[in-house]
Structure 1
Amino acid sequence: MSTDIEQPVEARLVAAAPRVPSIPATLHYDRSDPFAVRMTFPGPATLEGVEVCWTFARDLLAAGLREPRGDGDVRVRPYGYDRTVMEFHAPEGIAVVHVRSGEIRRFLRDASALVPVGREHLQLDLDHDLAELMRDAR
């Protein structure tokens, strides 16, 4: 069985300019980091021209489908019937994108098939992680 999933999504940047084209973003889930998801934007879609990856909680993404969630760098909220707004806050500014809620639901369903919600802790190897921390502390 695979240890991670990756799903391309169509993100539409919300900007002052009309008819902004879609951005080919990617949602990624890896069972080795079971509480997190990543969303990656390709270089051409970013201010710096380099790929940008945001990491945030899987439960934030799920909860944001139903009601506004997030107080930090990533905020998620429903928008209309089948859109979800994602805000990414950085020192350079705020990027706001719309993603089809169905794409997010499909991604979360696949992630839950890989690691069921509430069973994330079973993927962690705390003894190994603690040994790594102790090794690095020497």
Structure 2
Amino acid sequence: MNDATTVCAKVQMYLLAGINECTPVTTTLWYDSTDPFAVRLLIEIEDSTYADWVFARDLLERGMHGSAGHGDVRVWPAPRDRSETRISLAGVGLESNYVQAIFTARSADLHDFLACTYDLVAAGAEEINFERELTHLLADG
């Protein structure tokens, strides 16, 4: 779903569980121009149960070209196949034995998603509505 303020894309990713083992995972990337610096990654764990991650849009962009991120979210091109991008999430919540989960996705899918977000809000044109943010924070109490 895309409208005047949001971009939403289903992206097939794979959870890397071992050297030659990967599991397909249903994910959705979401961008809302009212929060122009962030993207959301929703990972379907079970039917109607999702892990929801929010991280910087430019982290995803930078990670497609070289290693980016320090901490809970890291992104980098796959070492042998630059047509794939890896995303590492710490404490992803998929299962209790996952301290860190590494996903791989087609770089072209991520590029297409990012291109749509930049059509809404160009890089460098991001602005924060401080009044709206303050009202939102105060309402959450």
Question: TM-score category by the smaller chain?
Answer: 0.7 to 0.9
Bigger mean CA deviation after superposition, 17-26 or 71-80: 17-26
Change (3 A) 1:133 1:16: closer
Q: Determine the C-alpha separation between the residues in 2 that align with 1:51 and 1:107.
A: 20
Match of 1:96 in 2: 102
Normalising by structure 2, we get a TM-score of 0.83
Q: Determine the C-alpha separation between the residues in 2 that align with 1:18 and 1:43.
A: 21
- Unpaired runs of 5+ residues, structure 1, are none
Runs in 1 of length 4+ with deviation above 6 angstroms? none
Deviations 1:18-56 (A, max 9, x none): 5533111111100111100010011229xxx93101100
Match of 1:86 in 2: 87
Deviations 1:82-104 (A, max 9, x none): 00000000185111010000000
Match of 1:127 in 2: 131
How many residues are matched? Answer: 132
Over the aligned positions, Cα root-mean-square deviation in angstroms equals 2.3
- Unpaired runs of 5+ residues, structure 2, are 93-97
Match of 1:30 in 2: 32
Given that 2:16 and 2:23 are in contact with CA atoms closer than 8 Å, whether structure 1 keeps it comes out as no
Q: Which has the higher strand share?
A: 2
Matches within 5 A, 1:42-61: 42-44=44-46, 50-61=49-60
Q: Which has the higher helix share?
A: 1
SS at match of 2:118: helix
* Larger of the two Rg values belongs to structure: 1
Normalising by structure 1, we get a TM-score of 0.84
